[in-house]
Amino acid sequence: MTNERRVLVHPDKQALTGSVAARFLTKTVDILDDLGEANVALTGGTVGIAVLEAVNSSPARDSVDWSKVHFWWGDERFVAKDSEERNERQAREALLDHIAVPPENIHPFPASDEIADIDEAAAVYAAELEAFASDGARHPRFDITFLGVGPDGHIASLFPDRAGIRETEATVIAERDAPKPPPQRLSLTRPVLNASDRIWLVLAGADKASALGLALAGASYTEVPVAGAKGRKRTVFFVDKDAAVDVPENLIAPSY
């Protein structure tokens, strides 16, 4: 399969999240048939969590053997374990607490009340990634990585013109001064994200249109981080009509 970028446009947010959920369930079954296990990196944000809620409410939810799926996160807010701001807590409430996934298959970033030092927390997650890697790699093979996109074009907690988006050696970075609250965050780096077989970017709303248009027009990834998101096999932008207004017509897939 060649590396390609596609944009799939949906009429509204509900259609968007339902479509992504259905495709995720189908693709995960296919991956498990082919490989025997799957590694999925989750994202937070309103739309990212809405996708997980749609997975949970799907009649096909239990067609997946969740015991063979490992869940990771692309980034996390460095706050207390029980904070409502944590991507982990939101994902658990939306989906993970409702499916038969073994606790050891869920790999959250450390919380600030578990490891107080953010650099140590980053090192601990890097070690967790390496522990589940194979063939001398530093992280597992991610089959599907979900990413949201900020109005400024950020992905995970890699922000425009910050050191994190330029990092190429570390697998995990500590962001101390994010331009949106909370300021302290942990994030996978761009090389780790781009080692994923499939990157699925899910975004909705007119405030995302400019960043999406710039990314697809070839903007610098240091200035518009989403421009640098490229999965090994496929990169798919799942968007609603409002977010697609600046997308070149030739990049929009008619259907899937």
Instruction: Please name the residue that has the structure tokens 């082919």.
Output: 34
For 178-184, what is the mean pLDDT? Answer: 96
Task: Give tens-digit pLDDT for 25-79.
Answer: 999 999 999 999 999 999 999 999 999 999 999 999 999 999 999 999 999 999 9
Q: What mean pLDDT value characterizes the chain?
A: 95
CB under 8 Å to 27, separation ≥6 — which residues? 144, 198
Q: What percent of the chain has pLDDT over 90?
A: 93
Mean pLDDT of 150-176: 97
> Coil, strand, or helix at residue 71?
strand
H helices, E strands: number in the chain: 7, 10
pLDDT band at 1, cuts 50/70/90?
A: very low
CA 231 to chain CA centroid, nearest Å: 11
- For residues 159 and 190, the answer to whether their CB atoms sit within 8 Å is no
Strand partners, 10: 240
Which two tokens mark 94? 């939306």
Q: In this predicted structure, what is the pLDDT of residue 244?
A: 94
Contacts 24+ apart (CB under 8 A), 20-26: 20/51, 20/54, 20/200, 20/202, 20/238, 21/51, 21/52, 21/54, 21/55, 21/58, 22/58, 22/60, 23/256, 24/51, 24/55, 24/144, 24/200, 25/55, 25/58, 25/60, 25/61, 25/63, 25/64, 26/60
DSSP state of 37: -
**What backbone torsions phi and psi does residue 147 show, to the nearest 5 degrees?**
-135, 135
Structure confidence at residue 12 as a pLDDT band (50, 70, 90): very high
Q: Report the candidate in 77, 207, 89 with the shortest Cα–Cα distance to residue 150.
A: 207
Q: How confident is the model at residue 86 (pLDDT cuts 50, 70, 90)?
A: very high
Query: Tell me: the pLDDT tens digits for 102-153?
Result: 999 999 999 999 999 999 999 999 999 999 998 889 999 999 999 999 999 9
**pLDDT at residue 85, as a whole number:** 97
Domains of the chain: 4-253 (3.40.50.1360)
- In this prediction, residues 233-255 reach a mean pLDDT of 88
pLDDT at 42: 98
- Angle formed at CA 143 by CA 139 and CA 145, multiple of 5 degrees: 85
CA distance 234 to 197: 7
CA-based nearest residue to 8, from 23, 29, 25, 28: 23
- Residue 33 dihedral angles phi and psi, to the nearest 5°: -65, -40
In terms of pTM, does the model score above 0.75? yes
Q: Is the peptide bond before 182 cis (omega within 30 degrees of 0)?
A: yes
Diameter of the chain measured on Cα atoms: 49
